[in-house]
Structure 1
């Protein structure tokens, strides 16, 4: 029997200068930046709000703002500005961003996910971005198989054909790159870092908790040893010993980054695959409940605490990435390599989350640069990427993927898209020094 796949609602069409797919930190910065240059910008987001991994995945922190140092007493030294600073200031004005908190050898800031969403809405509206929430790109428009001319989009109203001068893949998973058949890479020979389920714990006596465990959000070895002991005894199922607990902007609340989600067969899960993604969500919620039970039973200040909510989805550290005109190398990160064509910088450590204890490799009192060509496909026209799907080696992306840098990538790629549209250029024809001039004007301080 023949079965026809049909949607009788018809197809609507819209035109724009720049189409941004994905409303995480990178997509938001890209859309706002391009719209501020007077362009007609459409932003697609599958949820009903912007925030990506920071909000839907509840990563909860703006990591990557500061240098790392061996000197614990040293004050935070900020190195990322531009749109990142603009967003942080707007969020802080709402009471939605903490002061810098100690994170091992560096610092981070915890944000309020609801206030993040509202801040993003205001920035998008003020810039005149055409936002389409609850939408998913399901295919790309290709001109002769070479140039990306936009995307076919699913909405509750029906299909939408969006024709665009430049398309930016800020999906986090390089979805547009894959749909367009552009070269990509998945992890280390297909193996990616496992996802995590982050959650909020409420009812915490935070002053007592801090008095016992200290101000460093990475819990000390005594906590790790206790987790190991309780897990080995069978009293709890706690696969990860080294954990991070952050006081938030809300009273009596901790943000908990502690789960290590693998499959029931103990293999690493890849959220690109729908079976793995589903299994990660189920196992993640189970682990969150177990860690919350352990905290309540064993940690000072958590005696009357409860798990108030988990992230809307597991946090994805790594999936599919662009294979670009240039690749950020592991050596670039650990050696603090600088580049005249850079459009962003980072001092965040390499964090490899596998086994019971994540591996953290610090870059101390220094930073590295991320070049523009890491966001330009090795072949084809009309397409750029922004965010954690940049072209980078496995260990390098474990540093380059964090929030402050994703804001910076989006800021730069928004300018690149505007330069391309306004000058009739393809992304690979843009001089990165011109992007840097715009970034300097916006206070990005890359010099």
Structure 2
């Protein structure tokens, strides 16, 4: 039997092709296009937003420093493209005020407004957007990447580009090209989560009962443990996060622990695991919603009004870069001459019954430019959570505010490659840092 597709292959040429329309992909594409590059963005969904929208992560994490001072106001630590996006979301009423998240703060967003802001940013910069499209092969001569082969409903599409950015989240292009990569902690990854929204909540009554911290207090944890032990509910995760949103009477619920029937942490790189995760995630979401309705103050008339388009994916495949962010860099607040983004976000490991959080207080760490340059391969860079970072380190570095920063930096690196002819691995990260600071990144 011969596999065929008789449809003609369309060809496009551009300076930069970006695969993945999450925070990092959008920032990369927009930044490069603003620098005069002809840019194509390929996204498998019908909208931009990545994990923040399709995965319903629901918050812009990584904006504010952490502190033990419970009365402290939010201290913003991340600016640049992130701040531009925040401002656009605020202007449309799509971003809530900061809410307490343990020792720091986060901001809940409206996923519909997010999509619209991305549409306008991409259109305004002149980016050609191809939605409902999937990269299936890398076009290459040896280790020189020259673009991608794309599946669309119309038929196959070859996109030739001077520079290619893998913002897939899963280092898909890196793997296709056979470039060095790794998966989690010797193949073990953090479990995915099915996030959902609960409407019909008396939010004021709820907050009076449980406080302003979106990480639920110990009495709620104990109620979940008791409910699970009784056999009346199946609730595999006891430490949960519930966020008031931009909409009245609604909570964003980050509470599921999606593991396999065999007890494994499911890996969305594997089609069987990904499919199992979606089904199990929806079942768990319904079970937690039933528990909340039955047991939590203010939730007696609540109901599920939305679930994520897909399970939220925290970790899969990552590139082996010319530099690697270490766990010790995060907890020590390490700084680098070629640091192109900064983060105050804790290490947040989702594995086992209780997520582990390790805080960096009153400080930030920096992420080096080399974490986005493959140790082998030419004219390919990565952006987003598939950066080169150790297992615990990526549990901090993967969040939204930082991914915008990565994209901001990689967009400028692409412009240097196209306009000045500098190969990505020859770009001085300190030069990118200087450019970012001129655009309000405030890295110094």
Normalised by the length of structure 2, the TM-score is: 1.00
Distance 1:407 1:338 in 2: 19
| Secondary structure at the counterpart of residue 115 of structure 2 | helix
| CA apart distance, 1:437 | 2.1
1:3-402 equivalence runs, <5 A: 3-143=1-141, 145-402=142-399
| CA apart distance, 1:12 | 0.6
How many residues of Structure 1 are paired with residues of Structure 2 in the alignment? 444
Distance 2:262 2:430 in 1: 49
| CA apart distance, 1:72 | 1.1
Distance 2:240 2:78 in 1: 26
| Secondary structure at the counterpart of residue 296 of structure 1 | helix
Distance 1:81 1:377 in 2: 26
Normalised by the length of structure 1, the TM-score is: 0.99
| CA apart distance, 1:40 | 0.0
Aligned to 1:436: 433
Distance 1:59 1:261 in 2: 15
Following TM superposition, the consecutive aligned residue runs of length 4 or more in structure 1 with deviations greater than 4 angstroms are none
> Does 1:405 pair with 2:402?
yes
Distance 1:346 1:48 in 2: 30
* TM-superposition CA deviations, 1:264-311 (whole Å, max 9, x none): 111110000000000000000000000000000000100000011210
* TM-superposition CA deviations, 1:203-246 (whole Å, max 9, x none): 00001001111100000000001100110110100000000000
Distance 2:416 2:150 in 1: 25
Distance 2:155 2:177 in 1: 22
| CA apart distance, 1:438 | 1.6
